[in-house]
Structure 1
Amino acid sequence: MSETSGITAGAPEPTPTVSAPAAAPAAAPVPTEAPSEGLTNMSISDTAPPAPQPGGTPAVDTPTPTTEPTPAPKPASETAAPSAAPAADAVATPTKPILATTPASGKAAPAATSTAQPDSKEEVEPQNALTGKFTPAEWKALKEFRDKIPAIVTDAYSDSPADKKPTTLDLWGVPIHPDVKDARTSVILMKFLRARNLNPTSAGEMLTATIRWRAIFKVDEAVKEEFPEKVFGSLAHISGVDREGRPVVYNLYGANKDLQAVFGDVQRFLRWRVKLMEECVTRLDFSTVDQMVQVHDYAGVSMRDRDANSKNAASEATSIFQNHYPEFLSRKFFINVPSLLSWIFWLFKSLVAARTFAKMSVVGSGHHEIKKALSEVIDENQIPKRYGGLADGF
């Protein structure tokens, strides 16, 4: 009998009065079909035997009627009587169905018992408002990237003394490790992935460089460092939030005309600027908010105000924020921009990634024009009065 053949119901055995006795014919084989794709990995017990078809009972000689007619066989749906067995194996228990056997062992296979193992459930990812916006492609890249973290940390600290190599890593107060289940970790790692077009290898290189830079620059020490208020105090302010709760930082490039005091020590300027950036990052919870809005005010700035040190400082600061603070910018407004600087800005467009340039807006001068531009993302009561809003500001 075939492994997949069904049990034929119903026909009675011939009586000894048949004129030409012969062995009962074997059950008709079930036609073989190519298995469907979904069954290729299932055992024989995964599939119930096919139900007998009308007319599928093997032909047998009809016995000569006696005083009482032989009752007609019941339909297959009303009886589970087994079919006639071959003469050589004619020992059957009529009250139990004959079980299908495997050719190798001849033992009865458990009926209707599935051997297919259930698919193991994927580990549930911790979620927050920001991870809920990740696309399937981003999740796929993130899982691959996360598996690389131990090797990335090892590589980043490969030149450090053995007793100073950290076993864990924190960035902006968030643990970075594949074994730590924190949705904020996913948010930070996604920043590096998005900055590198979801390429886990490139994102890993960026993260490695960031870890090394933070150690060399001594960011944690810069955050605690005190800078002269009279030099830097008027240059930047964190004031208010946009409609999504993102902090808004204002940089006033013309607030201090003493360029030597501001840019004479480029490294000191950079350390002050990094401290300001880190203070902005502390306003982010990485659960609902992970970006900021920047407003660059060029009031009082002219081309004559740009000396070699200021150009060098601006170039280095741009490199730091581009390479080590990925995807922290939601929008950037350039306000009170002189006509000449505005023209240079549009030339600069070809050097900036389209995705980054789309976040930038160049605005002229005057309360009405500035307020109109800032109101795209900031409520009036969060805009400082000096820019046409209602907030006290700075």
Structure 2
Amino acid sequence: MDHSKEVTQLVGQLGSLVKEAGYDEIYGYQIDPTGEFYDDATIEKLVYKLLKAYKFELQDTKKHIIEILKWRRKFDPLSAAFLEKHAPKFDKIGALTLNPDGASGQKVVTWNFYGTIDDPQDVFGHVNEFIRWRVGLMEQALNMLDLNDADNDYMVQVHDYKGASLFSMTGDAKKASTSIIRLFGDYYPEVLSKKFFVNVPALMSFLFNAFKSFVAEATRRKLVMMRNGSELSEYLKGSGVPKIYGGSSGKPLDELKLVFDKSKIKLPAYVSYLLETKIANQVD
């Protein structure tokens, strides 16, 4: 179905939404039509994504855009991603890789490792610290997408439960997980092509299947669960798939992890401008 009418209508109202929210950036792109970094073609694709997330209901989409803008103004996810220093304890529970020749929506991959957490209290005991780190990782991945490239306008998430136990799910861990799930659902719509759950223990598999029955069909189609991590290569194609997950390149995950470097990754121009402005203001 052609939704060009809804896209045109919403693009025409972005200025008023920006004014109401007091902020003009989503996913690293300036959405103020009068702004120096505004790009018509890119914003049309972003607007289409947002409309798709909310079933092309114009009023509902506008409401959510305002909420997203206000949250980004307050939380400042770009700082969490590119300016803040996060504790080394997070290094082994999350990663970002680039799968350069992956299939559509399989180039940028974020990884979460639940079995590597030695002390759940140390990781999840300070929920806000964990959330800022996890949002930062999401923003880094998001800024590697290209909305003008149909093969790279979505990302993949992998949740590895190897070594994890239900007993490690403390109250703080559940609170942090619930907060992140809600936050991503509210403020990062239509960015995932698939979410893989690998090395899932038998009991967790039962709980996962029960959980799937309660989510919307569109979301359910994006969730894939498997008992053995090596099966991932049946779904996630490309040379950037680590050997331990059945990848053909033979490279271990540690060699494929991307140490994010703004000098090596081309960020959207508006992100670079906002970061430079923040740094300059901090110096002043």
Please list every run of 5 or more consecutive structure 2 residues that lacks an aligned counterpart in the other structure: 255-284
Which residue in 2 is equivalent to 1:375? 234
1:339 to 202, 215, 218: 202
Which residue in 1 is equivalent to 2:116? 255
CA RMSD of aligned residues (A): 1.6
1-structure distance, mates of 2:111, 2:92: 10
* 1:226 aligned onto 2:91: no
1-structure distance, mates of 2:231, 2:87: 35
Say which SS state the counterpart of residue 299 (structure 1) adopts: coil
Say which SS state the counterpart of residue 256 (structure 1) adopts: coil
Number of residue pairs the alignment of both structures matches: 243
* 1:292 aligned onto 2:152: no
TM-score when normalising by structure 2: 0.81
Say which SS state the counterpart of residue 361 (structure 1) adopts: strand
1-structure distance, mates of 2:60, 2:220: 22
Which residue in 2 is equivalent to 1:150? 15
Question: Offset of 1:354 from its aligned partner?
Answer: 0.6
Q: Does the aligned pair in 2 maintain the 1:196–1:202 contact within 8 Å? A: yes
Which residue in 2 is equivalent to 1:163? none
Q: Deviations over 1:348-386 (max 9, x none)?
A: 113211111101111002xxxx3334332312x322112
Say which SS state the counterpart of residue 153 (structure 2) adopts: coil
The share of aligned pairs that are identical, in percent, is 31
Say which SS state the counterpart of residue 237 (structure 2) adopts: coil
Say which SS state the counterpart of residue 382 (structure 1) adopts: coil
Say which SS state the counterpart of residue 96 (structure 2) adopts: strand
The amino acid that maps onto 2:69 is I
Which residue in 2 is equivalent to 1:275? 136
2-structure distance, mates of 1:237, 1:313: 18
Counting helix residues as a fraction of each chain, which structure ranks higher? 2
* 1:237 aligned onto 2:100: no
Question: Offset of 1:253 from its aligned partner?
Answer: 1.1
Q: Deviations over 1:275-307 (max 9, x none)?
A: 000010121121112110111000111110011
Question: Offset of 1:388 from its aligned partner?
Answer: 2.3
1-structure distance, mates of 2:194, 2:15: 33
Structure 1 outlier segments of 4+, above 4 Å: 178-181
Cα 1:170–1:216 shift into 2, 3 Å:
closer
Question: Offset of 1:340 from its aligned partner?
Answer: 0.8
2:65 to 190, 196, 207: 207
Q: Deviations over 1:125-162 (max 9, x none)?
A: xxxxxxxxxx51x21111111122122112213xxxxx
Which residue in 1 is equivalent to 2:25? 170
Which residue in 2 is equivalent to 1:182? 40
* 1:306 aligned onto 2:169: yes
The amino acid that maps onto 1:175 is Q
1-structure distance, mates of 2:73, 2:98: 31
2-structure distance, mates of 1:206, 1:299: 36
The amino acid that maps onto 2:147 is F
Which residue in 1 is equivalent to 2:273? none
1-structure distance, mates of 2:28, 2:198: 33
The amino acid that maps onto 2:74 is I
2-structure distance, mates of 1:305, 1:392: 26
2-structure distance, mates of 1:239, 1:247: 6
Which residue in 2 is equivalent to 1:20? none
* 1:193 aligned onto 2:48: no
Question: Offset of 1:393 from its aligned partner?
Answer: 2.2
Say which SS state the counterpart of residue 334 (structure 1) adopts: strand
1-structure distance, mates of 2:39, 2:231: 43
The residue correspondences of 1:107-146 to structure 2 (distance < 5 A) are: 135-136=1-2, 138-146=3-11
2-structure distance, mates of 1:358, 1:147: 32
1:315 to 178, 186, 198: 178
Question: Offset of 1:318 from its aligned partner?
Answer: 0.5
2-structure distance, mates of 1:374, 1:361: 12
2-structure distance, mates of 1:301, 1:188: 37
1-structure distance, mates of 2:246, 2:107: 20
Say which SS state the counterpart of residue 213 (structure 2) adopts: helix
Q: Does the aligned pair in 2 maintain the 1:146–1:177 contact within 8 Å? A: no
